[in-house]
Amino acid sequence: MTDPRRTPAAAFRDAHDGAGVEMAYAGHNTFLKGDPCDVDDVAADVGVLGAPYDGALSNRPGARYGPEALRRASAWWAYLSNYKGGLTNVNTGAQVDFSDLSVADCGDVPVFPMDRERTAESIEAHVATVAERAFPVLLGGDHYCTYPAVRGFAEGAGHDTVGLVQIDAHSDTVTESPVFGGHYHGSSTRLVAESPWSDYEHVSQVGIRGYEGPDFAEFVAESGIDCYTMRDVHERGITDVVTSAVQAAAAGTDAVYVTFDIDAVDPGVAPGTGTPEPDGLSSHQALRAMEVLGTHDAVGAADLMEVSPTHDPTDSTDILGAFLLVTLLERLFAE
């Protein structure tokens, strides 16, 4: 006798093994196909939040669309792991099973496009809530969002001192802009360093290039910031530079927050960003940086910022951005 409670859909799924494999482009748009979750109910290794805000940009807008694009791109690796029953990372030789990594996608934080202060409060509160329960990952959004996210991480995780590893083309240490003031994406690192949870001696930067203010060299020498330019990367190699950077940020701190501005990557590789700078990291260098960071026990939170998908019709920037986070999480949780 047929069970009247058993639907045709259930019968079909039971009869076909492939029905349990969700294609990368199907289903809910969550990071790594993680379970949708209310921010107050996170019970996972990683809690993902989006910050679809680009009201603090100084150049091309579009980073508000970054969280959605990064989620969509990340589905590929979840699909592969599900389809193949685990994976081998060909670059590292590591055996990886993303089913060992539990991801809760908490959706996007409330943002207020015409109210930067309230948006910052929202990011801080939601990251703090996740940090009490899981490893927080923030999908940006412009780079100003990192400042309230670091505050929220420190508060939620109960850390007194937080180090920052910033992979970026720009130092983001502007004190005051006559146009944008003192709170925008060019000032986020200064704001972190001046907060109660950090200072410049706990900040490491990788990939800085282009042009900074006339007193930048003096600022680096006097502030104690650990700054590695692209020339340092070229001369010393990405592995050595990132290893030194994370060790410096971890020294004397309770945990390290990793922020990756996608404009750290050369715009020939990742053009989908608001403030592109030539002579950036290659895909290999960027991914290697995340591999190194993912082996360090002090790393307790991360973000990926400034992806602007409207400036890259090939989706290459979105894919690389998602792969950078996937690589970090793989090394931290899934090997």
At residue 231 the predicted structure's pLDDT band, cuts being 50, 70 and 90, is very high
Alpha carbon distance 127, 24 (integer Å): 27
In a domain, 160, yes or no: yes
Query: For residue 170, what is the domain's CATH number?
Result: 3.40.800.10
**Domain span including residue 161:** 26-334
Q: Span 191-206, mean pLDDT?
A: 97
Q: Evaluate whether 170 touches 262 at the Cβ level (below 8 Å).
A: no
Going by the annotation, the residues of the binding site are: 143, 168, 170, 172, 261, 263
Q: What is the pLDDT of residue 84?
A: 65
In a domain, 1, yes or no: no
Residue 208, strand partner residues: 229
Q: Span 117-130, mean pLDDT?
A: 95
Give the distance, in angstroms, between the CA of residue 286 and the centroid of all CA atoms in the same chain.
12
Q: Span 240-250, mean pLDDT?
A: 98
In a domain, 14, yes or no: no
Nearest Cα residue to 152 out of 189, 120, 182: 120
In a domain, 65, yes or no: yes
Residue 58 has pLDDT above 90, yes or no: no
| Number of domains within the chain | 1
Residue 237 has pLDDT above 80, yes or no: yes
In a domain, 10, yes or no: no
Per-residue pLDDT tens for 264-298? 999 999 999 999 999 999 999 999 999 999 999 99
Q: Span 185-204, mean pLDDT?
A: 94
Going by the annotation, the residues of the binding site for Mn(2+) are: 143, 168, 170, 172, 261, 263
Q: Span 46-67, mean pLDDT?
A: 93
- Using CB atoms within 10 A of its CB, is residue 3 exposed (0-12), middle (13-18) or buried (19+)? exposed
In a domain, 121, yes or no: yes
In a domain, 306, yes or no: yes
pTM for the whole structure: 0.93
For the chain, what percentages of helix, strand and coil (3-state, to nearest 5) are there? 45, 20, 40
Structure letter (DSSP) for residue 330: I
Q: Span 225-237, mean pLDDT?
A: 98
Q: Residue 48: which region, alpha, beta or left (left: phi > 0; alpha: psi -120 to 50)?
A: beta
Residue 1 has pLDDT above 60, yes or no: no
At residue 64 the predicted structure's pLDDT band, cuts being 50, 70 and 90, is very high
In a domain, 16, yes or no: no
